[in-house]
Structure 1
Amino acid sequence: MHNISDVIEAHLKKVIERNTHNIVEIKRSEIADQFACVPSQINYVINTRFTIERGYLVESKRGGGGYIRITKIMNKDKSELIDEIIELVQPEVTQQTAIAVIERMLEDKLITKREAKIMISVITRETLAFNLPIRDEVRSRVMTAMLTTLKFEV
């Protein structure tokens, strides 16, 4: 059984996919009512599952007519996407952000599930047993090397 955050995320992604412009505008309170949860749960899902690292742009407007707009960032080609990801992970990257980037590449079918598992195993803090900030710098270099290899294999 999936938790409520997974269900809300899946719902929002489905709505975005159905939209020809890859955008959804929601009212936090309406989605909370739909899923019988508190509005802060919607904030949590948006703040953790719809990040730039995962390929989404989030805009919000507060007030009575307020909304949250979630846009799936679409890249014209894989090479351009990889270049953007390389910029995102340099000069250092946290484990959480690196995993989010890998999950985005998997979702965009840039890598296979097996490749994602291998990449994640290489960038974890257990594998990179260095103190901060060295660990985040080494993780960035490892990610950049893997991404560069992918770029020329595309």
Structure 2
Amino acid sequence: MSKLSNIIEDFIKKLLEDTNNGVIEIQRNELAQYFDCAPSQINYVLTTRFSSDKGYYIESRRGGGGYIKIVKVNINRDKYIQNLILNIIGDSITKSKAYGIIESFLEEDIITEREHNIMKVVLGDRTLDNVNCDKNVVRADILKNILLVLLE
């Protein structure tokens, strides 16, 4: 199982290297057929090998054949963002810490007032009310993905 995961990971990384913009769109089912595996194997590789901590942003769409968009963001080019993603946010972040980061982005003109308000709503407790696991873990994942989109 892990050998196949390594092969799939290497294949996706090669696709990303071959593009000049670090963005690929692939269909999960086609990739699963190519590797003769279940689509859940593709999901496993994407979840474990292409996380926001590693500088990847994943967008997934269902229906119409569905596709996965993978974006490689160079978090190493900006030491502040790298530190923010890996150390300050980490695996979990409280609402107040997340809001503090968002406030600093607004003050530095990295985001607009509208983006600031949207981010606060998305990361707020009210939005995460129906989450069945730790809200702070989900909040951290959302915030890291937002940062990667901002860097894109």
Q: TM-score, normalised by structure 2?
A: 0.54
The alignment yields a C-alpha RMSD, in angstroms, of 1.9
Q: TM-score, normalised by structure 1?
A: 0.53
1:20 aligned partner, one-letter code:
N
Match of 1:126 in 2: none
In structure 2, list runs of 5 or more residues that go unmatched.
Answer: 92-152
Match of 2:62 in 1: 62
Post-superposition offset of 1:91: 4.0
- Match runs of 1:32-111 below 5 Å: 32-74=32-74, 78=77, 80=78, 82-91=79-88, 93=90
Match of 1:23 in 2: 23
In structure 1, list runs of 5 or more residues that go unmatched.
Answer: 95-154
Match of 2:119 in 1: none
Query: In proportion to residue count, which structure has more helix?
Result: 2
- Match runs of 1:136-147 below 5 Å: none
Count of residues in Structure 1 that have an aligned counterpart in Structure 2: 90
Q: Structure 2: how far apart are the matches of 1:10 and 1:55? A: 16
Post-superposition offset of 1:92: 6.3
Compared with structure 1, are the counterparts of its residues 15 and 87 closer, same or farther at alpha carbon in structure 2 (3 Å cutoff)?
same
* Identity %, equivalent residues: 40
Secondary structure of 1:53's aligned partner: helix
Q: Structure 2: how far apart are the matches of 1:58 and 1:66? A: 13
